[in-house]
Amino acid sequence: MERRISTAGFLFQGGIAIFNSHAVVFISPNLAELDCRKRV
């Protein structure tokens, strides 16, 4: 039972890490674009 929970937790954390990495890649260019617009 504990092994199942730890495996689910590991997969859950892995999914969050993957989602965060994709979110950073997607958001970074948008933030850079907004920053450029503010400076101009």
As a whole number of angstroms, the distance between CA 40 and CA 29 comes to 17
Range of the domain at 27: 1-39
Per-residue pLDDT of the chain (40 residues; tens, 9 = 90+): 677 878 888 889 999 988 888 888 888 888 888 877 777 6
Q: Find the largest Cα–Cα distance for the chain.
A: 58
pTM over 0.75: no
Number of domains in the chain: 1
Q: What is the pLDDT of residue 35?
A: 79
Q: And the tokens for 34?
A: 């907004």
As a whole number of angstroms, the distance between CA 36 and CA 25 comes to 18
Q: What is the pLDDT of residue 3?
A: 77
- Within 13 Å, how many C-alpha atoms sit on residue 39's CB side? 6
Q: What is the pLDDT of residue 22?
A: 84
